[in-house]
Amino acid sequence: MIYIMSDIHGQYPRYKAMLEKIDLKDEDKLYVLGDAIDRGPGSIEILFDIMERKNCELFLGNHEHMMLTYLEGSDRQSWFFGVNGGKVTFERLMALDKESRDRIIDYLLDQTTIKKDLLFPERRIVLSHTSALNDGIDMYTRDFKDHLMYVQDIVWDMSANNIASIKHFPKTEKKAFFISGHVITRRLHDSDEIYFEEYDNNYTWIDIDCGCAMGSEYGNLACLKVSDEGEILEVLYAH
């Protein structure tokens, strides 16, 4: 079974509640589409948990990108900008011993994914934090770790391949799903449930950032349950 979630934003209790719901097995695969960190207080615990799981793949979100570019010195402002909520993560990171801190940084640089295509007999699923890259090529952070600013537009949805461009793709014969986070779904349809939009070209966009960042105020952590054939079976929520 395949599970897909995004934008946990330091909400460790919700993350643990979701893991209990899905009862992740060794043969399952969990994709976390970025923004595991910031705003909530449990970012470090979430990262360590993900790092320990051999069947979990973390994607680079704009918040992980801000963390890395702050630490390397190429962007010393964005991570600490008010609503981005990086200060609490920074303080927790700096409180770790150097070995633990380096483990996290090395993991984010060497083990995270930017974009991935999952191919199935009857459909295609494209995963990213927020991008409509449609070339079929998987992207990994390790290939850009010496020039991280190159992928800034991709993780912030500011590039020419922003998520809104899906509707303009040429029609595809095999049904394709772009699954992403980044944009809180309440901004799209005034609901804390997933947002999906089907287009005439046989593409569908599914946004699974259901506002977990807001903590107890509102929002959900959403998780898609997907079969090994690529069929979306269920949407689970942790409140």
Q: Is 233 exposed, middle or buried (0-12, 13-18, 19+ CB in 10 A)?
A: exposed
Q: How far is CA 32 from CA 167, 201, 236, in A?
A: 25, 27, 14
Q: For the chain, how many structural domains are there in total?
A: 1
Cβ neighbours of 42 (radius 10 Å):
22
* pLDDT tens-digit profile, the chain (239 residues): 999 999 999 999 999 999 999 999 999 999 999 999 999 999 999 999 999 999 999 999 999 999 999 999 999 999 999 899 999 999 999 999 999 999 999 999 999 999 999 999 999 999 999 999 999 999 999 999 999 999 999 999 998 889 999 999 999 999 999 999 999 999 999 899 999 999 999 999 999 999 999 877 789 999 999 999 999 999 999 98
Are 63 and 37 spatial neighbours (Cβ–Cβ below 8 Å)?
A: yes
Range of the domain at 147: 2-238
Return the structure tokens found at 220.
């959900």
Instruction: Return the CATH number at 66.
Output: 3.60.21.10
